[in-house]
Amino acid sequence: MKWAARGSAHGGRSEEMRHGNFCKQCGTENAPEVRYCQGCGAWLDPRPPLLDSLDLRWLAGVGRRDVNVAPLFTAEPAPGPAARARVVPLPDGSWYCPDCGRKNAPRALFCGGCGREL
């Protein structure tokens, strides 16, 4: 499945090519919304932020005393292999990740949502 188009006639990259999601580790072409490479499981760099500046004064509590601005959750370590649910491919070869619920392409060796190995 191809997600990118060839360069434009002007010698530059087309809009689709700029939005291609290629893995820097293995070169696999991934769907635009995928966060982990479906070929090797490497983290794919997120797209640039939509904010034009890093002015965070609009955040509640920033700059005030006795206010703690912390992440909403703390990541927990991944469970060991014995605690993980088994992946059952669908008849067409695609599969749903038991960890995050994302449907993955038949060719995917890793989940595009959480990076779990097939």
Mean of pLDDT values over 17-34: 80
Return the structure tokens found at 36. 């982990």
pLDDT band at 92 (very low <50, low <70, confident <90, very high): very high
Give the amino acid at 20.
G
pTM: 0.44
Residues in the chain: 118
State pLDDT tens for residues 29-80.
988 888 899 999 999 877 665 656 666 665 655 566 666 555 555 556 666 6
* Residue of 20 and 34 predicted with greater confidence: 34
* Number of C-beta neighbours around residue 111 at 10 A: 26
**What was the pLDDT predicted at 73?**
58
Q: What's the distance, CA 23 to chain centroid? A: 11
d(C-alpha 106, C-alpha 37), whole Å: 14
